[in-house]
């Protein structure tokens, strides 16, 4: 007989106690939480819902039918991990989180999803009729991905979720539904599976994926003093300031509110990032065109 676990069924009410109604379908008795029923159920009446095993190992029927099914994926939120079992994800079931088996997770535990990360999963059932969550593969992500406009995403910032980790790099899907790839050279450290990351578009790959970087732009790596100096240059009509590393310390302090040594470090940082140029008596913001900005 086909298992009813993980399916929607209509069952007959047979009994009740203070906390629950008991319903039967195909000779199996299921538990219905009285708190979820909108009005009292009557013996002999029918009740439709989703069948699962709750955290107390009772077979339960709930009218709160989740979107997840054996052929429909949903984004599940990671709630906890057990290194001998896998990660638990919330897919919308009352008093039950489903497990993604450790067999589907990275061999390196630090790359496992953490609390509040998210995974695209559907239902799976083992030979003991237990429900699990199983991960969407790269083929499915390719099916649901949306095309992008190169002009709109050029050098843009985006948020993305990691769905595959490989030696060659990290595969992600952006919040806008575009596939992306992060080469190991474009990240400070390898992100974990399910992590929501901030990325920027640095190019386009032949297979239609976005070429992404998790590294900040040069100006995002600079310190507070350099940021302040950069902002001051940006607010000038000609993007030029009458200061350089030989300027009088008092003039620097009066204008910027920092010491000359702080000023020189900030200038050196911006020069190293090729954000400004310096000549006797002035520093100037270097204009960067769009093509350079993608490098």
The domain segmentation of the chain, as residue ranges, is 8-62, 74-136, 141-213, 219-289
Q: What pLDDT, on the 0 to 100 scale, is given for residue 79?
A: 98
- Sign for the CA dihedral angle at 275, 279, 280, 282 comes to negative
**CATH 2.40.50.140 holds for 141-213:** yes
Residue 219 near residue 230, CB atoms below 8 Å: yes
The answer on pLDDT for 153 being more than 90 is: no
240 has pLDDT over 50: yes
Domain 8-62 and domain 74-136 have a common topology: yes
CA angle 150, 210, 196 (to 5 degrees): 125
Task: Say whether pLDDT at 292 is over 50.
Answer: no
pLDDT > 70 fraction of the chain, expressed in percent and rounded: 94
Strand 210-213 relative to strand 179-182, pairing:
parallel
Written in H, E and C, the secondary structure of 96-154 is CCEEEEHHHCCCCHHHCCCCCCEEEEEEEECCCCCEEEEECCHHHHHHHCCCCCHHHHC
Give the pLDDT of residue 152: 66
Looking at residue 293, its pLDDT comes to 37
Kindly report each contact of residues 15-22 with a partner whose C-beta sits within 8 Å and lies 24 or more positions away, as own/partner. Answer: 15/43, 16/41, 16/43, 21/47
* 8-62 is a CATH 3.60.10.10 domain: no
Q: Rounded to two decimals, what is the model's pTM?
A: 0.74
CATH code of the region 74-136: 2.40.50.140
The four Cα atoms 223, 229, 235, 239 give a dihedral, to 10 degrees, of -120
pLDDT at 18: 94
Q: How many helices (H) and strands (E) does the chain have?
A: 6, 18
pLDDT above 60: residue 88: yes
Sheet holding 240-241, edge to edge: 240-241, 282-285, 276-279
Average of pLDDT values for 44-58? 94
> What is the C-alpha separation between 25 and 255, in angstroms, rounded?
80
Give 171-178 contacts, CB < 8 A, sequence gap 24+.
Answer: 171/138, 171/141, 172/197, 172/199, 172/212, 173/141, 173/145, 174/199, 174/210, 176/146, 176/148, 177/144, 177/145, 177/146, 178/145, 178/146, 178/147, 178/148, 178/153, 178/209, 178/210
pLDDT value at residue 216:
76
pLDDT of residue 294: 39
pLDDT given for residue 205 in this prediction? 84
CATH fold of 219-289: Arc Repressor Mutant, subunit A (1.10.10)
Give the chain's length: 295
């Amino acid at each position: 007989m086909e298992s009813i676990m993980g399916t929607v069924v209509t069952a007959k009410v047979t009994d009740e106690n203070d906390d629950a109604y008991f319903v039967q379908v195909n000779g199996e008795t299921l538990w219905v939480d009285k708190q979820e029923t909108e009005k009292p159920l009557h013996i002999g009446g029918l009740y439709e819902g989703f069948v699962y095993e709750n955290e107390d190992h009772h077979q339960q029927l709930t009218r709160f039918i989740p979107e997840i099914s054996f052929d429909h994926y949903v984004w599940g939120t990671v709630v906890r991990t057990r290194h001998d079992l896998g990660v638990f994800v919330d897919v919308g079931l009352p008093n039950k989180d489903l497990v993604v088996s450790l067999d589907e997770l990275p061999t390196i535990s630090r790359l496992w999803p953490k609390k509040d990360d998210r995974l695209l999963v559907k239902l799976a059932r083992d030979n003991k009729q237990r429900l699990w969550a199983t991960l969407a593969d790269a083929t499915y992500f390719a099916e649901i991905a949306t095309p992008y406009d190169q002009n709109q995403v050029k050098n843009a910032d985006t948020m993305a979720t990691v769905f595959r980790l490989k030696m060659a790099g990290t595969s992600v899907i952006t919040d806008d539904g575009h596939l992306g790839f992060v080469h190991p050279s474009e990240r400070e450290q390898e992100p974990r599976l399910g992590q929501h990351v901030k990325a920027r578009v640095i190019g386009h790959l032949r297979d239609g994926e976005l070429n992404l970087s998790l590294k900040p732009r040069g100006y995002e790596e600079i310190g507070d003093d350099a940021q302040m100096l950069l902002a001051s240059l940006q607010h000038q009509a000609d993007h030029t300031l009458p200061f350089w590393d030989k300027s009088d310390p008092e003039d620097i302090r009066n204008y910027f509110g920092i010491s000359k040594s702080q000023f020189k470090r900030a200038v050196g940082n911006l020069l190293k990032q090729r954000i400004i140029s310096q000549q006797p008596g002035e520093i100037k913001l270097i204009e960067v065109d769009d093509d350079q900005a993608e490098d």
